[in-house]
Amino acid sequence: MTSSSSFSSKLLFRQLFEKESSTYTYLLADVSHPDKPALLIDPVDKTVDRDLNLINELGLKLIYAMNTHVHADHVTGTGLLKTKAPSVKSVISKASGAKADVFVEPGDKVSIGDLYLEVRATPGHTAGCVTYVTGEEADQPQPRMAFTGDAVLIRGCGRTDFQGGSSDQLYESVHSQIFTLPKDTLIYPAHDYKGFEVSTVGEELQNNPRLTKDKETFKSIMSNLNLAYPKMIDVAVPANMVCGLQDLPSAI
């Protein structure tokens, strides 16, 4: 079996959008497995019913609801998903300090059927950011896919001025953990504000107006963005630290 045919026969992939916060939620499933196990990356509370309806229509079994980091611009859908589908487990990095059923660390693998995502630590936007990357083996989707959260955006990157952010750390994270991936690796960010959906490592290495600069220039750019205080941060961050709902009963 070639890698291209394994991609088409094994992986079901959907990119979903929440327009108020311009957030992308990603659905991945192994449809070659009898249970059709699935996961969601960065679900939003306002679109949980949409996501669950799609999962049901496609005959999938949702196993994990994962976050790339503690978001400041929307409330995560993981807690609400767990109330509506109690077998689902929430996933976030241990470094985030947030509540979840499963805490991941660099090098961990999150598996659904015969597909898996590798966890890479990419702090800098927040102290607990991770990037989820599909496997390098021939039986995994090719080209590889990197779900970068707010670490790398298409022709941009996440801000670094709150939630333990650090422009120095973000630059190092991206260049060591994301830009070292094969150049045809597809980059799927947590947000886009200009209508773009996907990029590649090669594209961003060549065209990202911030991350192509040397580190000192990058740090200067990031310290002079003069961005407004995130309008949802005082609601979103406290909620997202507890899985999006106040003190959910544990699903395990």
Specify which residues 118 forms β-bridges with.
Answer: 109, 133
pLDDT of residue 19: 96
pLDDT of residue 231: 81
Cα–chain center distance at 51 = 16
pLDDT of residue 8: 54
Q: Which residues of the chain have pLDDT under 70?
A: 1-8, 246-252
pLDDT of residue 229: 83
Global pTM value: 0.94
pLDDT of residue 244: 78
pLDDT of residue 227: 87
pLDDT of residue 192: 97
pLDDT of residue 4: 41
Specify which residues 119 forms β-bridges with.
Answer: 132
